[in-house]
Structure 1
Amino acid sequence: MKILVTVASRHGATKEIGTAIAAVLSAAGHSVDELDPTLVTGVTGYDAVVLGSAVYTAHWLPAARDFAAQFADDLARRPVWIFSSGLATQPSARANSPHEILALRDNLGARGHRSFAGRLDRSVLAFTERSIIAGARAREGDHRDFGAISAWAGQIATALAEMVVRTA
């Protein structure tokens, strides 16, 4: 199957999660394109899509929200999985539950949403971001669990393989 993995990432950590997901899907035999959501001109030609975003102030980044809105009708006609990555100060499901995720999941007919803890490097943050992080008492460091990320991507690969078998 041809899969699009598209991720909105402000400082690169969430994009690296997308790259890990793409690697698992590719290793499972799928043809995978990794593109920034702002560079995608359409989803025609893709059998499935994985869409992810960093979470800031309890919202997905505009590039991911805009992608989902622009291609909502086309995305609803193919398997879609979504993920979020953000603050690592709270349990990942709570810290990375963007306000719009339920509506987004329902609108796209997404087969699943997964939240992952992120990476925090204060040195790359703008003043406003550092202020928000200070208020949230976020812990610096890389809190991403690539084992969990790979396992989730493996579940997607299995679901895609089952779809191929059913249509054969």
Structure 2
Amino acid sequence: MTANPPRLLVVVASKHGSTAEIAAALARAAADCPAGRTAGLSAIAVPAHQRPTPTSFDGVVLGSAVYAGRWLEEARQYATLYADTLRHRPVWLFSSGPIGEPPFPPDEPHDAAPMAALTGAREHRVFPGRLDKDRLTFGERAMVTAMRAPLGDFRDWDRIAAWGRDIAAAVTAEVPAGQV
């Protein structure tokens, strides 16, 4: 019997690319960690608007950039479209958006609890994001200026990679015997 290595799907909604970079880092960390390499885990990051089907994956991470306390529409739509499938496999959620030291806003995104309930997610993490004025629209730049929002990259790559390794360990531990 041919072994099927475990597969992890990282689905992401990103407006200016920062959250997509977090998703790619999560996928890399999961595949490159000892548990992932030993099990032959493959992990890919795909934009939510492409609506990748989660049925052939052993675990799913769904993440979104957060604006005004809410996930992007394409992430919410993805969760709703595949809710039945997602509830039958390990799912993790992440949000990206707070900026500054300490991170602002400090609250959980409004969508975190409803998305966790809808998908049966095991966990939700909030990662600080990046605010680069050069990537913003005119209206967004005006809002950032008015709010005196701190500019810069506040992402914690070590924390992101550690979570990717934790997810890989969980997914590889749950693959049925004989499949690895």
Q: Which amino acid aligns with 2:86?
A: L
Aligned pair partner of 1:17 in 8, 18, 22: 22
What stretches of structure 1 of length at least 5 have no aligned partner? Answer: none
Partners of 2:61 and 2:8 in 1: how far apart?
A: 8
Deviation digits for residues 12-68 of structure 1 (CA, Å, limit 9, x no counterpart): 111000011000111123111221111124211111101111101100111111111
Asked if 1 retains the 8 angstrom alpha-carbon contact of 2:99 and 2:105, the reply is no
Which residue is equivalent to 2:53? 42
- Identical aligned residues as a percent: 42
Aligned pair partner of 1:4 in 9, 26, 29: 9
Which residue is equivalent to 1:31? 42
Partners of 1:91 and 1:50 in 2: how far apart?
A: 26
Which residue is equivalent to 2:73? 62
What stretches of structure 2 of length at least 5 have no aligned partner? Answer: 1-5
Q: How many residues align?
A: 166
Deviation digits for residues 70-102 of structure 1 (CA, Å, limit 9, x no counterpart): 111111111101101103136448546211210
- The structure-2 alpha-carbon separation of the partners of 1:92 and 1:50, relative to structure 1 and needing over 3 Å to count, comes to farther
Cα root mean square deviation, aligned? 1.7
Structure with more relative contact order (C-alpha pairs < 8 Å, separation 6 or more): 2
Partners of 1:97 and 1:130 in 2: how far apart?
A: 24
Q: Which amino acid aligns with 1:16?
A: E
Q: CA deviation at 1:163?
A: 1.4
Which residue is equivalent to 2:3? none
Asked if 1 retains the 8 angstrom alpha-carbon contact of 2:29 and 2:165, the reply is yes
Which residue is equivalent to 1:110? 121
Q: CA deviation at 1:105?
A: 0.5
